[in-house]
Chain A
Amino acid sequence: MAATAAAYQPRQSMSTREIRKRVLVYAGLCFYAFIAGLPVYWMFITTFKPDQDLYNLRSFPLFFNERGVTWDHVSLLFNRTGYWVWIKNTFLVSAAVVLITLIFAVPAGYALARLRFRGAESLTIGIFMTYLVPTTLLFLPLVKVISWLGLFDKLGALIVAYPTFTIPFCTWLMAGFFKTIPFEIEEAAMVDGCSRVGAIVRVIMPLSLAGMLTVAIFAFTLSMQDFVYALTFVSSSDQKVVNIGVVTELIRGDVFYWGSLMAGALIAGVPVAILYSFFLDYFIKGITGGAVK
């Protein structure tokens, strides 16, 4: 017993320097966690706070106040708007955009990174530059294309429009990721009898899982964030996505339904955030993959 205690002694008597370091690290983490979590917490409180407390300047905004908790805002959101339809539309559009983006960005990124053709570097930069053109400039010319395709006011309009900004960015991301995979691995597979396609499927793709997941996350997030295309291409209530639906139907000029707005954003956002946490390691690996070779 005495021997065990002696063995643990060095751990118990942590040096002051070590303690200070840990305190600083955790203080920093707590600060960032507080900054990151505060808006979500505030949304949660607002979702369940009665209007009278929300508008009362004497009520502290981060706690429930004298009138307690109400379900009215959530009830209004679910019973008097098309919220479930918007949620469904959002996930359908985002999933379709992720699929299209992967289909185009992965081969394009591979070609730009590994086929060693002239101008590949400039082309990569050029493709990325198209991502920087703001949607507020593009929506008017793009609406003509959408109309020509017969997709105006249909969810298909968003599925066609969103890849115009997800593919350039994700191609650039994948090109950077492919560059981190040593050429020798692919060449070794080809020496062992694989064709180029075989090497891609058997060797490169499994090694690029982190990059592809990152691309999927980015495409999904960008689709959920867009406002301009969703607003201008779709206006029917049953075709709206959640980011447009809550804003267009719960903000009535100078009347804001704050509780329901926050409920709408919270319910749509939190599951996605939890889902992302499963992929966090892949995401970090994917986004930093191109940083070092």
Chain B
Amino acid sequence: MESETKTVLSRNSLSRRRFVRLAGLVLIGGATTSLLAACGGGGGTPAKPAEPAKPAESKPAAPAATTAPAAPAAAAKPTEAAKPAEAAKPAADAKPAEAAKPAEAAKPAADAKPAAQAGPAAKPKSGASLKILMWSHFVPAYDEWFDKYATAWGEKNKVDVKVDHIRNADMPARLAAESSAGAGHDLFEFQAVLQAATYKDKLVDLNDVADAVGKKYGGWTDIAKSFGLVDGQQKALMTYAILQPHIYRKDYFKEVGYDKFPDDYPTLLEASAKLKEKDHPCGLPLANCNDGNHNWRSVLYSFGGAEQSADGKKVTIASDETLAALKYGVELYNRGMTDEVFSWDDAGNNRFLLSGRGSWIDNATSAYITAKSQAPDVYAASAIALNPAGPGSKGARRNGVDANAWAVWKWANDPDTAKAFIVDWYDQWQEWGKVTSGYNSPPLLDMWKKPMPGLEDPDFKIMEDWRELSFVAGWQGPFHSGIEEINSTFVIPNMFARAIRGEGPEAAMKWAEGEYTRIFKAHNVG
């Protein structure tokens, strides 16, 4: 009986050989099915698309309904820019009101009528399709809002709209693939790294959209005017700028004798040195990342160092002001910064702040908003401030900002539908301002009237005075193809890194001048 049981067991037990055979059969079956499904007409799995990613852990603070708009402060002018950052902030310790549900705050308003009828001739074509490629926004509630809005817009206009999101760092590779394939999406958004000149022959001219939207909203801001303009054609259109305030620890600054964030760079250096002694250094990335680009541009511009002349024809990077900025950078690194900065990516300074060690960083408000859910202690002890003013006669408060832009591929299913979508999206500026707590900074003049949507919260109020302090790459001239390459090859952070690593400010500046001259020549600029 016992031996019989053993025989039965051995017959029924799964030997390794039998398991392998079984696994092989399952594999072959699955592979054949998937092959047929994946290469079939529908493409891919027939599965119902999952709900797009909505990691809404870091909901932005929505404006409190009861918050009365603050009395509008006088618009900051470059000459007045050295005013204390805190002055524009009614209550430093006030916390944002409880976040409203993003879904409610971001209620799609596709049916909303434009304020004025100045739309372009382009109208959405009934029955057309529109595939949109977006970056995964740093404020996830925006993606949630955008996806709903795009769907509602599609239903209203009988257009089949599909939105895909990918990581911003992966956007250039994806665009290269779409450009090479001559297929993919119809409408997409450049994120920080503008490549309008690179793809100029493959992008639809958006002059008509720029004119129509500009007329409707009182014209484009200074930084938006030349952004995406290639050989007189608007190949990309600024969606919004991303302001870069300084996010600092109020408690640490207070510990070393500063009740508020310093208003000028020399004072900031002294404060940073004291903070580093208490193991609370600061950090600006000295690496090839977007944060490195705009962080060091803020320093450079505030000291008066310009990349090119106002007409964009002459390289002006080699100047006494640039030299002063570089010397400042060396001193700030030696006396006040953490040495991790050489290895940082765009998230490096966020982690540094959230760890509780860092005393201040220069970053978009996403770092501050995220702290609310991921490190509430850090959030409670932090605040945002304008970047300081540079010294000297040419010194001022100038903030290097990132900006994004719409673009339409020439192979778009129906370019007019894409254009109509862009126009209607600008009409939603109040919605996307609110849902991002002002992270999306508008590119049109009429949108800068106070109170601005999303900035009702006392913590964000100072950003209402930011328009005249904001500069995209290429200051003091326009954003052209040469600047586009300089920005995407990170010449400015590399210049500062070279100076700090031991080459010295003079040699680093000379190297940068060589790079600017070479790139300008390659692009026939000047």
Contact = CB atoms under 8 A, between A and B. Distances in A.
Contact of A156 (B43, B176, B291): B43
A282 interface: yes
Interface in B366-420: 366-367, 370, 373-378
B31 A96 contact: yes
Contacts, number: 223
Given A156-B38, A159-B39, A52 B375 contact: yes
A81 B53 contact: yes
B373 A51 contact: yes
Q: How large is the interface on B (under 10, 10 to 19, 20 to 34, 35 or more residues)?
A: 35 or more
A70 B57 CA distance: 13
Contact of A251 (B33, B51, B133, B136): B136
Contact of B16 (A80, A88, A160, A278): A278
Interface in A149-185: 151-156, 158-160
Contacts of B162: 236
B55 A260 contact: yes
B38 A248 contact: no
Contact of B27 (A95, A139, A253): A95
Contact of A154 (B44, B48, B49, B351): B44
A255 B370 CA distance: 7
A235 B135 CA distance: 11
B375 A231 contact: no
B182 interface: yes
B34 interface: yes
A243 to B, nearest CB: 12
A267 B516 CA distance: 48
A72 interface: yes
A80 B366 contact: no
Contacts of B350: 254-255
Nearest to A147: B181
A209 B18 CA distance: 13
Interface in B286-323: 291
B94 to A, nearest CB: 23
Interface stretch (B112-120, B354-362, B445-453): B354-362
A250 interface: yes
A90 B500 CA distance: 45
A91 interface: yes
B177 A239 contact: no
A93 B34 contact: yes
A92 to B, nearest CB: 3
Most chain A CB neighbours (cut-off 10 Å) among B31, B58, B185 = B31
Contacts of A247: 167, 170
A51 to B, nearest CB: 4
B50 A81 contact: yes
Nearest to A239: B44
A215 to B, nearest CB: 12
Given A85-B45, A91-B30, A236-B162, A252 B356 contact: no
Interface string B48-83: 111111111110000000000000000000000000
Nearest to B135: A253
B474 interface: no
B164 interface: yes
A186 B394 CA distance: 87
Given A139-B177, A237-B49, A156 B182 contact: no
Contacts of A146: 181
A82 B32 contact: no
Contact of A56 (B47, B349, B355): B355
B30 A237 contact: no
B374 A248 contact: no
A125 interface: no
Given A155-B44, A155-B45, A248-B165, A95 B176 contact: no
A284 to B, nearest CB: 14
A113 interface: no
Nearest to A233: B177
B137 A85 contact: no
B38 A80 contact: no
A63 interface: no
A82 B176 contact: no
A236 B378 CA distance: 36
Given A51-B374, A80-B53, A92-B31, 11 more contacts: A56-B355, A85-B50, A96-B32, A147-B183, A152-B184, A231-B174, A237-B52, A237-B164, A239-B45, A252-B137, A253-B168
Question: Which 5 A-B pairs have CB atoms at the shortest separation, nearest pair first?
Answer: A82-B50, A154-B43, A92-B34, A249-B53, A238-B49
11 contacts: A57-B356, A83-B50, A91-B30, A92-B33, A93-B38, A100-B35, A216-B27, A249-B55, A249-B165, A253-B135, A256-B351
